[in-house]
């Protein structure tokens, strides 16, 4: 009676491990950027719930940058010009942060991540 062996060969195992290692390295390079984006989102939600009655755009930017410092958001990632306030036709104000982040991967290969988040502000924004 012959027994039939089944399973993966050593070469097949090495190929699978190379693919898993590549994907793990890619995740290791990208996860900090997404973690930083979650900090931006949390800081924006804090600003939105505090209310912005009478605050100017510069005061809101300064307050947001201060709160992002507590969320471990790097100062070089988001510039003050990336923070804007948009108004729709109904007079509702939205705080918007839009930025790009370049993450070096290997050799001359980089990832370019684009983040864009808007939250509705409570209260009137001053000029």
Structure confidence by residue, pLDDT tens digits, 83-106: 888 888 777 788 899 999 999 998
Strand arrangement, sheet containing 109-120: 83-87, 93-106, 109-120
| Relative orientation angle of helices 10-50 and 57-70, to the nearest 10 degrees | 140
pTM: 0.80
Report the alpha-carbon distance of residue 52 to residue 61 in Å, rounded: 11
pLDDT band at 14 (very low <50, low <70, confident <90, very high): very high
Q: Tokens standing for 81?
A: 């010009």
Residue 75 CB contacts under 8 Å (≥ 6 apart), including other chains: 65, 69
CA angle at 53 for the pair 118 and 127, rounded to the nearest 5°: 80
CB contact at 8 A, 48 and 95? yes
Q: What is the DSSP letter of 56?
A: -
pLDDT tens digit sequence for 21-61:
999 999 999 999 999 999 999 999 998 888 777 788 888 88
CB contact at 8 A, 101 and 115? yes
Distance of CA 23 to the CA centre of its chain: 20
């Amino acid at each position: 009676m012959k027994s039939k062996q089944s399973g993966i060969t050593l070469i097949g195992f090495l190929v699978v491990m190379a693919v898993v290692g590549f994907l793990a390295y890619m995740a290791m390079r990208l996860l900090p950027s997404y973690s930083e984006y979650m900090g931006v989102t949390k800081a924006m939600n804090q600003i939105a719930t505090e209310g912005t009655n009478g605050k100017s755009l510069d005061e809101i930017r300064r307050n947001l940058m201060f709160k992002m410092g507590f969320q471990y958001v790097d100062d070089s990632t988001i510039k003050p010009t990336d923070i804007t306030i948009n108004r729709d036709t109904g007079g509702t104000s939205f705080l918007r942060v839009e930025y790009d982040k370049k993450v070096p991967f290997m050799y001359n290969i980089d990832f370019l991540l684009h983040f864009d988040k808007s939250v509705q502000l409570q209260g009137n924004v001053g000029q």
